[in-house]
Structure 1
Amino acid sequence: MDVSILVVNYNTCRLTLDCLQSVYASKTQYRYEVIVIDNHSSDGSVEAIRAAYPEIRLIANEDNTGFAKANNQGMEVASGRYILLLNSDTLVQPDTLDTMIQFMDTHPEMGASGCKVILPDGSLDKACKRGFPTPSASFYYAFGWSKRYPDNPKYNQYQLGHLSPDDEYPVDVLVGAFMLVRRETIEQVGGLDETFFMYGEDIDWCYRIKQAGWGIYYYPRTYIVHIKGGSARRRPLKIIYEFHRAMWVFHRKHYKQQYSWITNMAVYAGIAVKFGMAFLKNKLSAPVKPDSDEQSRTEVKA
């Protein structure tokens, strides 16, 4: 098996079926398997997916295990020499699998790669090519310096906005919506850290991959569409909490020992302030259901 495609589903039945249809429409010379991990959906996803694609290996969890753990479940039964993390709210192109596997086959030093990711309006999903969230990179991003000086590398360390999305180059971080990872790399560094229930697990994985000496590459010779409905309206508190908790977990795990206590306290204070601002903004906004990306990852049951 060349590639095992892992799709985590949580109450995104229609989106998941569309995603799977795009996968099976691929024009590829490679052998692939699809593994769907359902996190106890209540929208009839399991029955619908089994009926439409009986050949798929479907793991039906009895509770919502989280995004990281669900993907790890898929990796445990996967047989491909590559593992592809693919969000349920994405659409791959007919050439995506061939283009990305060919790249990895000809670049054995690469532990992981990602393609260009665009939103339904044609704009770039900026999470598809990032730098690590160091204290300075996080500061410039969180407080708007990267937007103020979009062409300055110093202020764009996180989203790499100064680099063209149409060029290819090594990066620090890919997005978990589409990440092609070599099996040997996973055997060396392990799977996703389940401390991250949602958000941050892709950054942590990329950090460990690079620490182990593997390369990570952004390769925009093909693309996928990421159908996430970003909105400034009200979101469940759990989503806001997990987003900011992931920042804290990542810094404590990887950067705490590298920086002084003053810097660490400043980082933690910054996360707290940002969380407070997000919470207040959310309270003053109109309610909205979680977007498709959040539904595929989110909400621990109380």
Structure 2
Amino acid sequence: MNSLTDRDDAAGIAAVVVTYESASTIEQCLQRLRAAHGVVEIRVVDNQSSDDTLDVVQRHAIADARVRFIANPDNPGFGVACNQGGITASAPWLAFVNPDCLVEVDTFTRMQALIPAGTRMLLGADLVDEQGVRDGAARRHDPDFAAMLAAVLRGRSPPSLDVPIDDAQSLQPVEAISGALMLMPRALFQHIGGFDEGYRLHAEDLDLCRRARAAGAQIAVANAVRVLHVRGVSSRSRPLFVEWHKHRGLWRYFRKFEAPQRSIGQQVLVMLAIMARFPLAWWRARRRCR
């Protein structure tokens, strides 16, 4: 693949999986990826798991030469680990897959088949939980910080980023997709410089999608391609950590994309709005984890 617009329907896919305390799902995840059509490389990057995650990964690496792994001595963050996996892969396509996402045999080939020839596209799937409930975060708007600020000032919940599902479209254009599962040409990933490693956890997918759009790529969801997403496996035991980094990520996103067009006063108000949103989000996350 020599340019961003070159396309080969039969092109191989490198699946990149970032793990952290993922022992409960990584076995199934890797089994599914090894069976998936089109997958020629599997790169697992572990961020200092203390459970049996690496034992499972090592067993798969021994059984299948496509599986290689990096065991980080610390936890440098999701974006750093994604880049580590993406850089070590050589296949023309990259699929970033959470360890709690369980793909089907034809997931990636069906997604590839939907991408029009000559189109630069970052593509997501229809994510569903164990009860078949569809994940609204699979289709998202860019964060609207003015609306967030207005909601906080009125004592209301911030507006959702979720985009309504339109099943009439096999490819639904959106501004952003979930980082739980992303398929893109490796050339596009390289062109935009991969993930921004300044995000520790969360919002790096919003950032990646925004930069991909700025580079001329389209963002879309394959509405008919469903993937099981076992939600929150590695984050249920640490809601404070997760919510803190969600809000830290939002602030970084704002500073990067929105702050240059805002006055100092507006920037301070947005920072306060993000801070005010954090305690309620943490409390709700704690309740979900009980």
TM-score bracket for the superposition, by shorter chain length? 0.7 to 0.9
Q: How many residues align?
A: 272
Q: Distance in 2 between matches of 1:123 and 1:79?
A: 35
Residue of structure 2 equivalent to 1:292: none
Residue of structure 1 equivalent to 2:262: 259
The offset of 1:82, in angstroms, is 1.1
When structure 1 is superposed on structure 2, of 59-68 and 165-174 the one drifting more is 165-174
Q: Distance in 1 between matches of 2:111 and 2:21?
A: 29
Query: Are the counterparts in 2 of residues 110 and 217 from structure 1 also a CA contact under 8 Å?
Result: no
Q: How does 1:120-199 map to 2 (within 5 A)?
A: 120-136=130-146, 138=148, 143-144=156-157, 158-161=161-164, 163-164=165-166, 167=169, 168-199=171-202
Query: Are the counterparts in 2 of residues 129 and 173 from structure 1 also a CA contact under 8 Å?
Result: yes
Query: Are the counterparts in 1 of residues 18 and 81 from structure 2 also a CA contact under 8 Å?
Result: yes
TM-score, structure 2 as length reference: 0.84
> What percent of counterpart residues are identical?
29
The offset of 1:139, in angstroms, is 5.3
Q: Distance in 2 between matches of 1:31 and 1:97?
A: 8
**Residues 244 and 191 (structure 1), Cα distance of their counterparts in 2 relative to 1, 3 Å cut:** same
Q: Distance in 2 between matches of 1:32 and 1:166?
A: 32
Matched, 1:74 2:82: no
The offset of 1:73, in angstroms, is 0.4
Q: Distance in 2 between matches of 1:121 and 1:197?
A: 30
Q: What CA deviation, in whole Å up to 9, does each residue of 1:228-286 have, x standing for no partner?
A: 149xx98442222111111111001100012334433332121011113335x369x56
Q: Distance in 1 between matches of 2:98 and 2:43?
A: 12
- One-letter amino acid of the counterpart of residue 76, structure 1: I
Task: Compute the RMSD of aligned alpha carbons.
Answer: 2.7
The offset of 1:201, in angstroms, is 0.5
The counterpart of 2:224, out of the listed 221, 226, 237, is 221
The offset of 1:20, in angstroms, is 1.0
Q: Distance in 1 between matches of 2:150 and 2:238?
A: 25
Can you give the 5+ residue segments of structure 1 that lack an aligned partner in the other structure? 147-155, 290-302
Residue of structure 1 equivalent to 2:6: none
Query: Are the counterparts in 2 of residues 37 and 59 from structure 1 also a CA contact under 8 Å?
Result: yes
The offset of 1:186, in angstroms, is 1.5
Residue of structure 1 equivalent to 2:74: 63
Q: What CA deviation, in whole Å up to 9, does each residue of 1:110-163 have, x standing for no partner?
A: 3311111111111111111111102245458884475xxxxxxxxx6x2113x4
Matched, 1:202 2:205: yes
- One-letter amino acid of the counterpart of residue 59, structure 2: A
The offset of 1:48, in angstroms, is 2.2
TM-score, structure 1 as length reference: 0.81
Matched, 1:51 2:62: no
Q: Distance in 2 between matches of 1:235 and 1:14?
A: 16
